[in-house]
């Protein structure tokens, strides 16, 4: 291989190694700056999720369960703001919606049988993630006291921004506070 | 002679910089004249005076250290940066994610300019760039809370590292690319035409592998890539085959036999990773096939991963490849050992076994392989004795011992009898080794 060709390949490798993460950054920043905001009420997570660690694993109450038989299969899920800004989902489809916001979803092998949401984790500092996850689970599981029939209040929710099918988690809220503020308040109160 | 070699040593970097010769040619010339000088009793240096070109094992150790050291430093930097992530703003995190990557890319450009013929530098920087590039992508994913799409990540990381294989002539980077492709295959099981897509990915490494074999087929770099390739192919065949169907065994038998034939076609002397994989893999398969339960055909499920061509289609392709290699080797009219023939004939034995098992005769299929394993063990012992080779003798003894021990575990004999049998087998093992060592001395 000539030196000229090697220099050309090195330039290609450098450009590709920078371009791919920059593309993700651009898309994320565009979604955060110009995307439509939505909120999703969270649900408890399987405690045996093997990928816990430096992030809070997320699950959602009202996210539709979409069956898929093949990994890599792409689905489109219309999304619109419902009551109090919480997301409402339309019927999933293999075709991109002609108008309105939507989420682009992809079936994956280890979740064979259904298509997961495109935001299944919220990364935190390794020292905060375990506390946040405990709080998240406790608040996602809360039931009305004394056998009341009232609907379960939402105390843990994820704010996202959606643009061109791409969704970026903006903030995880616990009891109405951003997660870091919630944990700081818990520490100040001396809670475990 | 030394005066001319000195001149050449000074000229090689210039010729390389000007593109008159490529790095591989420079290295070959440097090695050629370094060997000649060593024979004349002079101190030697390699083509560009970067490393003291002593013996092959020391150079190999240096390259391995360079690769591991560079990779670990790169990953360690990322771990340290990510430790106290929360204290940093987003622009700061992004800057720190890209910092090591940019620094290594600059180092890579310097290596290509000033150290192009150095194996240690090339392997080290290629490996570090591949790993740190993967780390930077992961950190960006963390900053924006990407979902865990491991398959897309594995494929992206492998494809980003692919140019580095050719730029730096790096076998270590090629091994990482191969592992990335195989991880993607495992995560995408169920995707239509998956085996063909995997083969298309493997094809991106063919020019590099061809160059590696041509320039130094017995080198440790070729062995490294060969070992990783053999392991990845075995995983790929297993992942893409039916579950609970004995035809998986037939595919694995074909693969082991193809490794043996490919090794024989290349070198004919039974060396290299393909030969080792074929030999060991074949022996393990034969021993596994002596276990009755392995031939159970109760719950075969057609997995969508091999749609399109189908299992029969893939078996046909693999069988044709086996046949083509067999013809190629036989045309050389070389005398092959009984051990070799038994390994090459594995697919035939497994085809017979599969037909017998599919006909409901599991016990008969397993019994067939009891005989096959015994024959393979004895043939390997004979090869070892004929060549005065302790390793082959022990391999043969291990096959026979494993067979005996497996049958004892299957049976309902009392513990005392089993214990005595194990002692007898162990004693035979030790005795044979002592006898052969004495015979050699």
Looking at residue B193, what is its pLDDT? 73
Distance CA B179, CA A13 (A): 19
Q: Do B187 and A2 touch (CB under 8 A)?
A: no
User: Token match 């009793």: residue?
Assistant: B41
Residue B232 reports pLDDT greater than 80: yes
Cβ distance A123 to B142 less than 8 Å, yes or no, reads yes
- Tens-place pLDDT, residues B71-111: 777 667 666 656 656 667 888 888 888 988 999 999 999 99
Mean pLDDT of B161-167: 95
Contact B384, B393 (CB under 8 A): yes
Q: Percent of chain A, pLDDT > 90? A: 30
* Residue among A3, A10, A125 whose CB faces B109 most closely: A10
- What is the reported pLDDT for B304? 43
Between B259 and B300, the higher pLDDT residue? B259
Alpha carbon of A141: minimum distance to chain B alpha carbons (Å): 23
Between B63 and B150, the higher pLDDT residue: B150
Q: Which of A110-119, B35-44, B361-370, B388-397 has the lowest mean pLDDT?
A: B35-44
User: How near does any CA of chain A get to the CA of B279, in Å?
Assistant: 33
**Contacts with B82 (C-beta within 8 Å, 6 or more apart), sequence order:** B139, B142
Closest of B172, B331, B200 to residue B261, by C-alpha: B331
Q: What pLDDT does residue A49 have? A: 45
Crossing angle (nearest 10°) for helices A179-189 and A129-141:
90
In DSSP terms, A114 is beta-bridged to A67
B236 vs B411, higher pLDDT: B236
Q: What is the pLDDT of residues B336-384, one digit of tens each?
A: 788 889 999 999 999 898 888 878 788 888 889 999 999 999 999 888 8
Q: What is the mean pLDDT of residues B412-425?
A: 71
Chain B residues lying within 8 Å of A112, measured CB to CB? 190
Of the listed ranges A30-44, B46-60, B269-283, B326-340, the one predicted with least confidence: B46-60
Task: Give the pLDDT confidence score for residue B297 in this predicted structure.
Answer: 54
Residue B167 and residue A131: Cα distance in Å, rounded? 46
d(CA A143, CA A137): 12
N residues, chain B: 441
Averaged pLDDT for residues B249-276: 81
Range in B1-5, B119-123, B276-280, B316-320 the model is least confident about:
B1-5
In whole angstroms, give the CA distance from residue A87 to residue A70.
Answer: 27
How large is the ipTM? 0.76
Which of B144, B166, B243 has the highest number of chain A CBs within 10 A, making it the mutation to test binding with A? B144
Is the CB of residue B353 less than 8 Å from the CB of residue B289?
yes
- Identify whether the C-beta of residue A158 lies closer than 8 Å to the C-beta of residue B120: no
Q: Which of B87, B147, B173, B240 to mutate to test the interface with A (most CBs of A within 10 A)?
A: B147
Angle CA(B237)–CA(B240)–CA(B242) in degrees, nearest 5? 105
> Considering CB atoms only, which of A17, A72, A180 is closest to B160?
A17
Q: Is the pLDDT of residue B224 over 80?
A: yes
| Smallest Cα distance from B64 to chain A, Å | 22
pLDDT at B300: 47
Other C-beta atoms lying within 10 Å of the C-beta of residue A54 = 17
Q: Would you list the DSSP string of B293-344? A: GGG--TT-B--GGGTTTHHHHHHHHHHHHHHHHHHHHHTTT----HHHHHHH
Q: B335-349: per-residue pLDDT in tens?
A: 678 888 999 999 999
Mean pLDDT, residues B387-406: 83
Burial B218-229 (b: 16+ CB within 10 A, else e): ebebbbbbbbbb
Distance of CA B276 to the CA centre of its chain: 10
More confident residue, B55 or B362: B362
Nearest CA in chain B to A129: B86
Residue B154 near residue B184 (C-beta atoms within 8 A) = yes
Name which of B143, B121, B4, B7 is nearest B67 in CA terms.
Answer: B121
Could you report the per-residue pLDDT of A45-95, keeping only the tens digit for each? 655 443 445 777 788 888 888 876 677 788 899 999 887 778 889 998 889
Question: Using the 8-state DSSP alphabet, how is residue B190 labeled?
Answer: T
From B61, B196, B70, select the one nearest B122 (Cα to Cα). B70
Nearest-CA distance A127 → chain B (Å) = 9
- Per DSSP, the three-state class of A161 is strand
Residue A165: in which H helix or E strand, if any? none
What tokens were used for B282?
């074949």
Give tens-digit pLDDT for A99-134.
999 999 887 765 556 788 888 888 877 777 777 877
- Beta strand A74-81 pairing with A102-106: antiparallel
Reported confidence tier of residue B242, pLDDT bands at 50, 70, 90: low
- Roughly how many angstroms between the first and final C-alpha of chain A, as a whole number? 63
For A35, residues 6+ apart whose C-beta sits below 8 A from its C-beta are A160, A161, A162, A163, A166, A167, A168
- In B, minimum Cα distance to A32 occurs at B144
Instruction: Enumerate helices (H) and strands (E) in chain B, giving the number of each.
Output: 18, 0
List the single residue in B with minimal CA-CA distance to A2: B22
Taking 50 as the threshold, does the pLDDT of residue B54 lie above it? no
CB contact under 8 A, B16 and A3: yes
DSSP codes, B375-437: HHHHHHHHHHHHTT-HHHHHHHHHHHHHHHHHHHHHS---HHHHHHHHHHHHHHHHHHHHHHH
d(CA B45, CA A129): 54
Which residues share a beta bridge with A104? Answer: A76
Of A13, A106, A180, the CB nearest to B164: A13
Task: Label residue B164 by pLDDT band (50, 70, 90).
Answer: very high
What region, left, alpha or beta, does residue B360 occupy, with left being phi > 0 and alpha being psi -120 to 50 degrees? Answer: left
Alpha-carbon distance B379 to A156, whole Å?
69
Confidence tier at A176 by pLDDT (50, 70, 90): confident
For residue range A149-166, what is the model confidence (pLDDT) as tens digits?
555 666 788 999 999 999
pTM, two decimal places: 0.71
The string of pLDDT tens digits covering residues B197-208 is 888 999 999 999
Suggest the residue from A5, A6, A9, A21 to mutate for an interface test with chain B (most B CBs closer than 10 A): A21
- Whole-number mean pLDDT of chain B? 78
Contacts of B146 in chain A (CB under 8 A): 24
């Amino acid at each position: 291989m000539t030196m000229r060709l090697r220099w050309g390949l090195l330039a290609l490798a450098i450009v590709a190694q920078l371009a791919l993460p920059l593309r993700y950054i651009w898309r994320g920043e565009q979604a955060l700056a110009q995307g439509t905001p939505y909120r999703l009420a969270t649900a408890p997570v399987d405690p045996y999720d093997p990928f816990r660690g430096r992030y809070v694993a997320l699950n959602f109450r009202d996210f539709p369960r979409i069956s898929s038989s093949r990994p890599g299969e792409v689905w489109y899920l219309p999304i619109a703001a419902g009551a109090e800004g919480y997301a409402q989902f339309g019927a999933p489809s293999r075709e991109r919606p002609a108008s309105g916001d939507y989420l682009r979803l992809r079936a994956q092998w280890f979740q064979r049988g259904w298509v997961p949401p495109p935001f299944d984790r919220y990364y935190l500092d390794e020292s905060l993630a375990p506390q946040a996850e405990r709080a998240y689970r406790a608040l996602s599981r809360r039931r009305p006291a004394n056998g009341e029939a009232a609907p379960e209040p939402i105390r843990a929710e994820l704010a996202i921004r959606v643009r061109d099918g791409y969704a970026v988690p903006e903030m995880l809220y616990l009891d109405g506070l951003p997660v870091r503020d919630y944990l700081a308040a818990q520490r100040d109160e001396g809670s475990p | 002679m030394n005066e001319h070699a000195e001149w050449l040593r000074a000229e090689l970097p210039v010729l390389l910089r000007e593109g008159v010769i490529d790095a591989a040619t420079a290295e070959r010339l440097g090695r050629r004249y370094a060997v000649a000088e060593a024979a004349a009793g002079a101190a030697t240096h390699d083509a560009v005076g970067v490393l003291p070109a002593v013996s092959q094992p020391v150079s190999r150790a240096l390259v391995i250290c360079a690769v591991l050291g560079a990779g670990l430093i790169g990953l360690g930097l990322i771990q340290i940066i990510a430790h106290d992530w929360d204290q940093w703003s987003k622009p700061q995190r992004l800057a720190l994610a890209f910092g090591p990557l940019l620094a290594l890319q600059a180092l890579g450009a310097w290596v290509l300019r000033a150290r192009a013929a150095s194996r240690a530098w090339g392997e080290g920087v290629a490996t570090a760039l591949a790993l740190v590039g993967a780390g930077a992508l992961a950190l960006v994913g963390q900053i924006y809370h990407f979902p865990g799409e491991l398959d897309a990540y594995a494929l992206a990381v492998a494809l980003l590292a692919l140019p580095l294989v050719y730029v730096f002539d790096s076998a270590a980077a090629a091994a990482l690319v191969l592992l990335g492709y195989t991880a993607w295959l495992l995560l995408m099981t169920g995707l239509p035409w998956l085996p063909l897509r995997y083969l298309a990915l493997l094809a991106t490494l063919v020019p590099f592998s061809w160059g590696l074999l041509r320039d130094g087929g017995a080198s440790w770099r070729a062995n490294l890539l060969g070992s990783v390739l053999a392991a990845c192919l075995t995983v790929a065949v297993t992942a893409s085959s039916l579950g609970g169907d004995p035809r998986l065994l037939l595919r694995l038998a074909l693969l082991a036999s193809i490794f043996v034939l490919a090794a024989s076609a290349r070198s004919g002397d039974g060396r290299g990773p393909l030969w080792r994989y074929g030999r060991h893999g074949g022996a393990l398969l034969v021993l596994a096939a002596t276990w009755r339960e392995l031939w159970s055909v109760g719950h075969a499920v057609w997995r969508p991963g091999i749609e399109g061509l189908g299992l029969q289609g893939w078996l046909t392709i693999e069988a044709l490849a086996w046949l083509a290699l067999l013809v190629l080797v036989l045309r050389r009219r070389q005398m092959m050992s009984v051990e070799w023939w038994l390994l090459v004939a594995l697919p035939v034995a497994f085809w017979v076994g599969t037909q017998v098992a599919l006909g409901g005769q599991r016990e008969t299929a397993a019994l067939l392989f009891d005989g096959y394993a015994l024959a393979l063990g004895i043939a390997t012992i004979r090869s070892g004795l004929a060549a005065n080779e302790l390793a082959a003798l022990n391999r043969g003894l291990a096959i026979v011992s494993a067979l005996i021990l497996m049958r004892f575990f299957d049976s309902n004999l009392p513990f005392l009898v089993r214990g005595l049998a194990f002692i007898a087998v162990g004693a035979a093992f030790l005795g044979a080794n002592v006898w052969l060592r004495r015979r050699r001395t």
